[in-house]
């Protein structure tokens, strides 16, 4: 069975408080974008994971696809061994949630392929054990997120009349480092309130708290954001803790991706 785990962007991201458990209380809106990896899972005599495309650094045992398998195997001892192949297209350390999407897709495929009978809420519970933004990919539609990102409420947000330009500048931003640069604080207006306003008002109101420290460390990123506005973006922002940026443009604004390095004109899910 094969699926195509897509990425996400953050529409606004507020870090509100440091929690007693060491995590941060946050608010954001997750939105799915049609840039995808490919994940194939087949029954096998032995558990294995192979990868092509973008190289994934680190110990393969820490890969979220394998972690997702072992998570289900604990509760479903009869789950057979599988061979997994991941074609990695979504860059890492980019604020796009590619690894989280891959891990969640593993849960979804295994549930379907081996008739485990898990409903959406149970899948969300498993996904939350993999990572804070993993549960979003069970919904895979616009969601208001609070808590550490795992408390999700689907919202009505239709951006099909717009075109997205996604830019990955080839920088890897450590999420742990990015959090260390912030001073959490409450905001005068919630992201949920701002997102309901006309998109033409987002530029002045909808802020990603990570932009200030990340742009200071990587000045090329703020130049890309400015270039997106020069190209006619109605709204532009960094996604997550970076380093990817996106611009939202009127539909059919570009017939082809413009001459901005590492840019890709993408459609919505």
Positive or negative: CA dihedral 107, 109, 115, 118: positive
Cα separation, 204 vs 206, whole angstroms:
6
Q: Is 8 a catalytic residue?
A: yes
Phi, psi at residue 124, to the nearest 5°? Answer: -60, -40
Structure confidence at residue 258 (pLDDT)? 64
pLDDT digits (tens, 9 = 90+) for 96-129: 999 999 999 999 999 999 999 999 999 999 999 9
Out of 37, 88, 102, 133, the active site residue is 133
Whether residues 23 and 124 fall in one domain: yes
pLDDT digits (tens, 9 = 90+) for 27-58: 999 999 989 999 999 999 999 999 999 988 77
| Predicted confidence band of residue 259 (pLDDT cuts 50, 70, 90) | low
Strand order, beta sheet including 143-146: 6-18, 24-36, 143-146, 151-154
Question: Which residues are paired to 250 by β-bridges?
Answer: 162
pLDDT digits (tens, 9 = 90+) for 137-180: 999 999 999 998 889 999 999 998 899 999 988 888 888 899 89
Whether residues 102 and 203 fall in one domain: no
Whether residues 170 and 216 fall in one domain: yes
Structure confidence at residue 10 (pLDDT)? 97
Q: Is 141 a catalytic residue?
A: no
Structure confidence at residue 260 (pLDDT)? 61
pLDDT digits (tens, 9 = 90+) for 183-241: 889 899 999 999 999 999 999 999 999 999 999 999 999 999 999 999 999 999 999 99
Structure confidence at residue 256 (pLDDT)? 66
Whether residues 138 and 215 fall in one domain: no
Structure tokens at 2: 């094969």
Structure tokens at 101: 């999407």
How big is the CA angle at 54 (ends 243 and 95), to the nearest 5 degrees? 20
Q: In the chain, helix, strand, coil percent, each to 5?
A: 30, 30, 40
Q: Which of 56-65, 82-91, 225-234 has the lowest mean pLDDT?
A: 56-65
Burial class (CB in 10 A: 0-12, 13-18, 19+), 7: buried
End residue of a domain, out of 118, 134, 154: 154
Structure tokens at 64: 């979220």
Structure confidence at residue 114 (pLDDT)? 97
Query: Residue 102 in contact with residue 62, Cβ under 8 Å?
Result: no
Structure confidence at residue 240 (pLDDT)? 92
The 10 Å Cβ neighbour count of residue 121 is 9
Whether residues 180 and 145 fall in one domain: no
Per residue, what are the HEC states of 172-233? CCCHHHHHHCCCCCCCCCCHHHHHCCCHHHHHHHCCECCHHHHHHHCHHHHHHHHHHHHCCC
Closest CA to 24 of 246, 242, 244, 240: 240
Query: Residue 225 in contact with residue 237, Cβ under 8 Å?
Result: yes
Whether residues 8 and 89 fall in one domain: yes
Structure confidence at residue 269 (pLDDT)? 44
| CA–centroid distance for 134 within its chain | 8
Whether residues 99 and 129 fall in one domain: yes
Whether residues 51 and 102 fall in one domain: yes
Q: How many domains does the chain have?
A: 2
Whether residues 88 and 187 fall in one domain: no
Whether residues 62 and 141 fall in one domain: yes
Structure confidence at residue 257 (pLDDT)? 61
Whether residues 15 and 118 fall in one domain: yes
Burial class (CB in 10 A: 0-12, 13-18, 19+), 217: middle
Which domain does 54 fall in, by range?
2-154
Out of 8, 37, 209, 225, the active site residue is 8
Q: What is the CA radius of gyration of the chain?
A: 19
| Predicted confidence band of residue 11 (pLDDT cuts 50, 70, 90) | very high
Element (H, E) at 29: strand 24-36
End residue of a domain, out of 109, 135, 154: 154
Structure confidence at residue 268 (pLDDT)? 47
Whether residues 57 and 96 fall in one domain: yes
CATH number at residue 197: 3.30.70.890
End residue of a domain, out of 154, 181, 201: 154
Structure confidence at residue 144 (pLDDT)? 97
CATH number at residue 104: 3.30.230.10
């Amino acid at each position: 069975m094969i699926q195509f785990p897509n990425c996400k962007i953050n529409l606004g991201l507020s870090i509100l408080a440091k929690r007693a458990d060491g995590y941060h209380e946050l608010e954001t809106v997750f939105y799915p974008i049609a840039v995808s990896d490919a994940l194939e899972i087949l029954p096998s005599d032995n558990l294995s994971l192979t990868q092509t495309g973008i190289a994934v650094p680190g110990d393969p045992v820490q890969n979220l696809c394998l972690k997702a398998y072992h998570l289900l195997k604990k509760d479903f001892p009869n789950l057979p061994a599988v061979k997994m192949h991941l074609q990695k297209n979504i860059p890492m350390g980019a604020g796009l949630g590619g690894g989280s999407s891959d891990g969640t897709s593993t849960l979804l495929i295994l549930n379907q392929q081996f008739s485990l009978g898990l409903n959406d809420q149970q899948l969300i519970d498993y996904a939350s054990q993999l990572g804070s933004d993993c549960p979003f990919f069970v919904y895979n539609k616009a969601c208001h997120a609070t808590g550490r990102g795992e408390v999700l409420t689907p919202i009505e947000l239709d951006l099909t009349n717009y075109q997205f330009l996604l830019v990955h500048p080839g920088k890897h931003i450590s999420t742990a480092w990015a959090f260390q640069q912030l001073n959490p604080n409450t905001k005068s207006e919630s992201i949920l309130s701002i997102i309901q306003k006309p998109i033409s008002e987002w530029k002045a109101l909808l802020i990603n708290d990570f932009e200030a420290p990340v742009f200071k460390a990587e000045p090329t990123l703020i130049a890309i954001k400015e270039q997106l506005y020069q190209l006619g973006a109605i709204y532009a922002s960094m996604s997550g803790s970076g380093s990817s940026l996106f611009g939202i443009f009127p539909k059919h604004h570009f017939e082809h991706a413009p001459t901005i390095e590492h840019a890709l004109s993408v459609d919505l899910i």
